[in-house]
A and B are shown apart, each in its own frame.
Chain A
Amino acid sequence: MMNELANNPLFQSALAPFVVALVTGYLLRPLGSKWVGLGFALGYGASVYFTAGFQLFPLTSTRKIELLAVAAVLVGVLLDHYKYARRPVPWVLAMLAIAAAVWVIFPVLKRAEGLDFWLMLFSPVYAAWMVVGFDLLRNKPVAASTAAVSVGVGTSISAVLGASALLGQLGGAIGAAAGAMLVLLLFVKRVDLSSSFTLPVALLAALIGIAAVIYAGLPWYNLLPLALISVATHLPVNTDWNRFIQAIVLAGYSAIPAAIAIAVTWKIAQSVEPSLY
């Protein structure tokens, strides 16, 4: 019974990350409102444990992504809790995201020639865009969490339809764990989400999307709508509305690019069934 549950993809990439993120996020509140964001990382980690395990070697692209997620959490915590000059931060994050993306795609990049090589350089640009885009939401927790849910769901369904179920499950875990953060934000007092949440969300979503393109054949232009999700949450929202209404409106804004990404993949895949079955 427990084995069946642990092997169920919905449990692995939806229920487990949601519940773990919700519970740990809630328990972290006494440490300070900004520590709640770590619940996302713990929820996502639960999904990794069930889907791929914590094995490190051989160091595949998927395992590199998990390692980079841990690094992103650490950098996010530093940004949340230490004073620093704000101006260079987006540039530094962009550079780190570019380096991370190059590391993940390096096994293929080093063999690529001609046009393929130049097309692959789209990947680091996408990673930098995503990380900086979500960094701009670090002081807008409702917008950040709705965007995180949309980017997770969009990446997940795109990957499942067009590329890889494993990457799809990992993308789904982003959406589920971010959904738990949104629930805490809406229903519990003294909850804040900042860089320790936005940085790992953005880097994970970017790198999973890139891996789906480079390693699993997802069309690169599928990432273009996903890149617009963080931008969409900057659309005007009446701040006089309560948080629930704001969240619904922002979710609507961010769901549109995610839906476009899914529709594009659906059109290409021409089937909702995974090829295996």
Chain B
Amino acid sequence: MPTYFEKKQLVTPGELLAEGDYLAGSNTYTEDKKIYASRIGLADCDNKRVDVVALRSFYFPKVGDIVIGTVLEVGFSGWTVDIKSPYTALLRASDVLSRPFKPQNDELSQVLNGGDLIVAKIASYDRTHDPQLTVGEPGLGKITRGQIIKVTPSKVPRVIGRQGSMISMIKQETGCQIILGLNGVILVTGKIPEDEDIAMAAIQKIEAESHTSGLTDRITQFLKEEKTKREENKNE
């Protein structure tokens, strides 16, 4: 039995993708041996598995994911963190202080306050509880420098590129450090703000054109042009 779409075809929720001996991949569902799309996106079939790369989605927490979040509130024994997900995340004080927490001695707001940005890992999550974060690994913790940009989570793989080719290229061309939160929040840290601006513009371009081909070359081109423009502006 065939599939009912062409490679990379734009499909809408409810569109019939395939019938019979296929596996229902991401952003699809099965009813009566038929596979339908559940989100708007680009349909693809690989080894009898039908997937839809969603053009619009939100982040659903998964244990082990690295995410970037904003501290919302200082609570009694920890903090609530906005990870741009339907669920608010929790960061326990004991995790940050890496020793038992003494309410009378420790002032939590000195460590992390509302509005602070953190890079964290999802330590635990299940259907009955909000996700718990940890910062107890190297590379995680409070963010002190850089700029934040938000993209639709399903586009993060595109920013990374095949085997990291896209993200390495951006880092190289702009000299910026880039941390990709799987929740769609990306941290760009450069030597000067202008470098960060160019990297962010490139990422925005990737999000807007993620479903087109030849993107890596176009982004390389874009970065070179932006740097040249900046050189020209300096010299004037």
Do A and B come together as binding partners? no
Which A positions have Cβ atoms within 8 angstroms of B? none
